[in-house]
Amino acid sequence: MFFKIIRILKNEGVNGILKRLSSRINMPKEIDVAEQADNTEKTDNTEHKSPTLSKFDKMTFGINLEGVGLEIGPSHSPLLPKRDGFNVEILDHANAEELKKKYAELGIDKEKLNNIEHVDYVWTGDALDELTNKHDYYDYIVASHVVEHTPDLISFLSQCEKMLKSGGVLSLAVPDKRYCFDCLRPLSTAGDVMQAYYDKRTRHTPGTIFDHFSTVAFRNGCHTWYKDDQSELVFVHSVQEAMSAVERSRASEDYIDVHNWVFIPQSFRLISYDLKTTGFINLAEEVFFNTEGFEFHVQLKKDKELDEIDRMDYTVQSLNR
């Protein structure tokens, strides 16, 4: 289900998705690009200067790119193209020819179609580690705007963990709900994530589908915006349209894509901390980049000792956003 999501999101954007329905105690490395006017990065006891980082820089920060990587769902926008010499494998929802055909029919321009590379693993519903048959293998895995769509976040993280070598890194780009169409929804919690795992969810629940479509809101006709944009919020769907999606989900096996998980940086960090503390995953935060634009970036490292955080502070910050 992850890659049906990616197919629509990367090529048609959120509008396409919608149309289809009509403090520092050994703290993790934290790089707050948005608030560092002097562009200083502080990592552990080392301080060094750099310009504002690009998405590529954030996603690959500290990663040994000479190692073996896996990119999940890149479609026509690979972060680490093979043609540029990266030793990376690709996992997507269809093979390259199928992707090119589908995206051509969607009106994607030829230049972007040419970015589509050979897909090593075509996902059809298998556990990711079973599909690749790779365990303790990859030095890094990158996934941009994938985790918020997963019906079962713990299983996704666990499968990535199994594929990573000890010390390997899962690098994620995640939307900040305050600056996108999720802004009216409550934050997800670790308990929500655990319940989805216990339920063994492979599709989104009717309640989640209703909450998604009944609260989607744009500013100035856009599904994402900058922090200082205070223009009026406008609902995209009526309650009746949201209920129609629920009924469609209940009446068929069609996979209806939604944002299942809703985060701000503090809430995501708290969830990942709690999942590691309680033994659901063996991944711990290694590097964090605060929100810039509408997304933040985080790297989770396999077999890393858990760094202490101020849970009260993170929880209060989450409640106050």
CATH no. for residue 261? 3.40.50.150
Instruction: Point out the residues of the chain with pLDDT beneath 50.
Output: 1-12, 14-28, 32-50
DSSP string covering 45-104: TEEEE-PPPPHHHHHHTT--TTS-EEEES-TT--SS-GGGT--EEEEESS-HHHHHHHHH
Distance CA 27, CA 273 (A): 12
Distance CA 174, CA 260 (A): 12
| Residue 215 pLDDT | 98
Distance CA 154, CA 197 (A): 6
Distance CA 269, CA 288 (A): 9
Q: Which two tokens stand for residue 37?
A: 């006017």
Q: Which two tokens stand for residue 231?
A: 């223009």
Bridge partners of residue 175, in order along the sequence: 295
Q: How far is CA 283 from CA 6, 34, 230, 304, in A?
A: 23, 25, 37, 7
User: 298: part of which helix (H) or strand (E)?
Assistant: strand 295-302
Look-up of token digits 């590097």: 287
Answering whether pTM is above 0.75, one says yes
Instruction: Quote the number of domains for the chain.
Output: 1
C-alpha 72: how far from chain center: 10
Q: Which two tokens stand for residue 32?
A: 């707050």
Distance CA 281, CA 273 (A): 9
Q: Name residue 299's amino acid.
A: Q
Distance CA 89, CA 120 (A): 6
Residue range(s) defining the domain that contains residue 29: 2-319
Q: Please give the radius of gyration of the chain, using alpha carbons only, rounded to the nearest integer.
A: 19
| Residue 19 pLDDT | 43
| Residue 257 pLDDT | 87
Q: How many CA atoms lie within 13 A of 268 on its CB side?
A: 25
| Residue 30 pLDDT | 57
Q: How many CA atoms lie within 13 A of 110 on its CB side?
A: 0
Distance CA 89, CA 3 (A): 15
| Residue 37 pLDDT | 30
Distance CA 77, CA 71 (A): 11
Q: Which two tokens stand for residue 210?
A: 């209703």
Q: Which two tokens stand for residue 100?
A: 């090119």
* Sequence-separated (6 or more) residues with CB below 8 Å from residue 242: 209, 210, 212, 213, 214
| Residue 29 pLDDT | 56
Distance CA 196, CA 12 (A): 28
Distance CA 177, CA 12 (A): 20
